């Protein structure tokens, strides 16, 4: 039914004020579990190095009373390295844009710094987890660190085709890591494999009559080879969805050559230029303490 003749409506009116709420909504993923869980140390060169060693396997050891000693051959340590990676976020704001009145933020510069700092953190998370190889770099080639996906090579549970994650697959991987001397405490997974772990039939479900709710979540996985916390990772889900990692976090460290910092660049006109920059690499103190399962259903 149409409005009566000559009804003055908002469609004809001039001067109606805009209805723009003073909030900017952003639901993009910002969690960075590996960046958060790893210890921070300092790097002092673009090629960051460390050493690893291993004990000989246990063997029968009995000596004759009064016998002369004989020297066992000494095995040298293994020298490992990783390249530091420079990560940047740059933006430029005109003088006018900074001074005009805006909805949702008082300062465009302050808002962009806050937003891009979160973006830089997720880029660092990507490099720490997803990078498969180090790149030395050159005058026209960026250096790149090797991430967890590249380092973990000793303990791998794989298959010729994608398969559903089961307790058998997970426990087999944990046994392999245990045999190598590892003691992982974190299962890093995407959403699909997190759901699979929650669905393991051996898990206990709790029903709260008061709250009338069923809890169907498993944040702690109690295995025959230790207790592990399951941690969700957006970069795993979005880039390695058919993979999970069982990690001993005490063997992974991030080494900062340059911690995250903000610099204002030289002005060349009526605008202000800024750069967020960080330079770091990943220490894999001994990758055999961790493991990965691949070819999982997504």
Task: Give 10-residue mean pLDDT values along the chain (298 residues).
Answer: 74 74 65 93 96 87 89 90 97 94 91 94 97 96 98 96 95 96 95 90 53 59 92 95 96 96 94 96 96 93
Does residue 234 contact residue 226 with C-beta atoms inside 8 Å? no
Q: Which two tokens stand for residue 48?
A: 């960051």
Does residue 144 contact residue 137 with C-beta atoms inside 8 Å? yes
Contacting residues for 65 by C-beta, under 8 A, at least 6 apart: none
Handedness of CA 30, 35, 37, 39 (dihedral sign): negative
Residue 131 has a pLDDT of 98
Residue 214 has a pLDDT of 47
Residue 107 has a pLDDT of 93
Residue 209 has a pLDDT of 54
Residue 46 has a pLDDT of 97
Q: Which two tokens stand for residue 284?
A: 């894999």
Contacting residues for 136 by C-beta, under 8 A, at least 6 apart: 83, 143
Residue 285 has a pLDDT of 95
């Amino acid at each position: 039914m149409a409005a009566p003749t000559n009804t003055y409506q908002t469609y004809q009116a001039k001067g109606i004020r805009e209805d723009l709420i003073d909030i900017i909504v952003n639901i993009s993923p910002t969690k960075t579990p590996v960046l958060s869980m790893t210890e921070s140390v300092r790097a002092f060169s673009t090629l960051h190095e460390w050493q690893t060693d291993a004990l000989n396997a246990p063997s029968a050891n009995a000596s004759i009373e009064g016998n002369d000693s004989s020297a066992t051959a000494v095995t040298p340590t293994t020298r490992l390295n990783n390249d530091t990676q420079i990560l940047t976020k740059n933006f430029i704001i005109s003088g006018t844009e900074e001074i005009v009145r805006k909805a949702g933020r008082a300062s465009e510069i302050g808002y962009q710094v806050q937003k891009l700092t979160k973006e830089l953190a997720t880029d660092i998370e990507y490099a720490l987890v997803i990078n498969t190889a180090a790149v030395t770099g050159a005058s026209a080639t960026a250096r790149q660190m090797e991430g967890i996906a590249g380092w973990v090579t000793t303990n791998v549970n794989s298959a010729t085709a994608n398969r559903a994650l089961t307790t058998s697959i997970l426990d087999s991987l944990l046994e392999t890591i245990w045999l190598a001397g590892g003691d992982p405490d974190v299962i890093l997974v995407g959403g699909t494999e997190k759901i699979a772990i929650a669905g393991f039939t051996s898990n206990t479900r709790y029903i709260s009559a008061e709250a009338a709710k069923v809890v169907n979540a498993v944040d702690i996985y109690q295995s025959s080879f230790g207790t592990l916390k399951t941690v969700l990772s957006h970069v795993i889900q979005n880039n390695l969805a058919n993979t999970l990692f069982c990690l001993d976090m005490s063997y992974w460290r991030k080494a900062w050559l340059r911690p995250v910092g903000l610099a204002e660049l030289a002005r060349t006109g009526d605008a202000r230029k800024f750069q967020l920059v960080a330079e770091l690499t990943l220490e894999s103190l001994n990758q055999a303490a961790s493991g990965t399962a691949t070819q999982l259903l997504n």
